[in-house]
Amino acid sequence: MQISSIANAFHWATHKLKSSKPEPIPRDAPLPPVGTQADQRLWASQLKQAQTVLKDIDDALPPAPLTAMKGTASGAGRLRDGSTRLRPSAVVGAAGAPIQANWLTPQSLVMEMPGNKHSATWAAACLEHNIKAAIDISAPGWGAEQQSCMKSLAPWSKASTTAQFTCRTTDHYFPVERAINNASFPAVERSVGVRLVANDQLVQPRVPGTPPSEAWNNGPQHAPMVTTWLRMPMEPGRTLSPSVLLELCDHAERLAGPDGVCAFQCGDKGQQAALIAVARDIHRSLGHQSRPGSDPLDAVTEACVRARATLGPDLLRSREEIASLLGMAQLLTERQHRQAR
């Protein structure tokens, strides 16, 4: 799988409405998070500190100019357009379509939700990069042109390439999924077998491991790798709360493990999902055994600067997003202190 880089960042152009309609008033920042009263109080208490952190980030790596797009927050960051793409690997060739994706760290991939046309490329990416989990926060009808390729159980074929995402089903052939609750937001988790055949050869994972033992995955059409697909639709343009970020980071660590990759997906080409990836960077920094007692404020500032340098200079422009990251870091630190007693 080849990953290419494109240096130029992109900026949204301001959309104009027809003269018969009033010009919308751009929001200065993302909408505040939704959650419990305790969660909202924690987030609000971080806003002042977040403004200071944002200034430090701007001083270290100034943001690029950004114009408002209709219906979105003018303070919300945008990823580089095509800064990195998951290219079709040699095994799928012309059968694969490139996926807009950005590596934040070797363990965190920020990307658009892969649609049907991306089936072969996404299957190859999972096998090549050891992607053990995909967290999808795409909201129905927002930005995504079609449903995720991981939702369909039918094989996708083109030329000599066939990709399929399988899972356990009920007696009536409905997918078996596990309902979970993340800070009062419903989510659904599904184990998905990843199978890719190119030129009559079953593609094997790059990282060798024990073949999946799930009963539904055995047999002549078994998949050599199983990844976990967690879906939690979130409202576009709204900041994720500290507790939501913490729980999603916990899920990412549980599902991907110490060596696996977690892909963070959403229908707007990964822009909203980038905040979760940055939160995971902070989560791993504060939880790393080689850095006991790390300062949460420093961890947040360093992670945000890394994200701007890696994903694009338009990212993390609002104190609202920084406040959620600071709140998550506080929740994680408090939990570590309780566990240490």
Task: Give the 3-state secondary structure of residue 187.
Answer: strand
For residues 248 and 159, what is the distance between their CA atoms, to the nearest angstrom? 38
Residue 277 lies in a domain: yes
DSSP 8-state code for residue 192: E
For residues 97 and 141, what is the distance between their CA atoms, to the nearest angstrom? 21
Is 60 exceeded by the pLDDT of residue 293? no
Is 70 exceeded by the pLDDT of residue 66? no
The beta-carbon contacts of 148-157 under 8 Å, at least 24 apart in sequence, are: 148/113, 148/114, 148/115, 148/229, 148/265, 149/114, 149/115, 149/116, 149/118, 149/119, 149/122, 150/114, 150/122, 150/190, 150/192, 150/229, 152/116, 156/116, 156/119, 156/120
Residue 298 lies in a domain: yes
Average of pLDDT values for 215-220? 68
Is 90 exceeded by the pLDDT of residue 290? no
Residue 127 lies in a domain: yes
Is 80 exceeded by the pLDDT of residue 94? no
Whether residue 220 contacts residue 162, with contact meaning beta carbons closer than 8 Å, is answered with no
Distance between alpha carbon 59 and the CA centroid of its chain, in Å?
27
- Which residue is it, tokens 């500190």? 49
**pTM reported for the whole predicted model:** 0.83
Per-residue pLDDT tens over the stretch 232-274? 988 888 899 999 999 999 999 999 988 899 999 998 777 789 9
Predicted pLDDT at 95: 72
> Which positions ≥6 away from 338 have C-beta within 8 Å?
none
Is 70 exceeded by the pLDDT of residue 40? yes
Predicted pLDDT at 91: 62
Task: Give the 3-state secondary structure of residue 196.
Answer: strand
For residues 76 and 29, what is the distance between their CA atoms, to the nearest angstrom? 6
Q: Provide the CATH number for the domain around residue 214.
A: 3.90.190.10
Most confident of 62-66, 79-83, 183-187, 272-276: 272-276
Residue 267 to residues 105, 114, 177, 231: CA-CA distances in angstroms? 21, 9, 21, 12
Predicted pLDDT at 1: 33
For residues 174 and 3, what is the distance between their CA atoms, to the nearest angstrom? 36
Is 50 exceeded by the pLDDT of residue 27? no
Predicted pLDDT at 145: 54
- Say what percent of the chain tops pLDDT 90: 45
Structural domain of 145: 34-340
Arithmetic mean of pLDDT over the chain: 79
Which range is least confidently modeled, 3-12, 141-150, 183-192, 327-336?
3-12
Residue 4 lies in a domain: no
For residues 336 and 341, what is the distance between their CA atoms, to the nearest angstrom? 9
Residue 147 lies in a domain: yes
- Number of domains forming the structure of the chain: 1
Predicted pLDDT at 158: 87
Most confident of 154-158, 271-275, 323-327, 334-338: 323-327
For residues 121 and 2, what is the distance between their CA atoms, to the nearest angstrom? 11
Residue 11 lies in a domain: no
Structure tokens at 47: 């806003």
Per-residue pLDDT tens over the stretch 117-165? 999 999 999 999 999 999 999 887 655 456 899 988 888 888 889 999 9
Query: Measured in Å, how far apart are the chain's first and last C-alpha atoms?
Result: 46
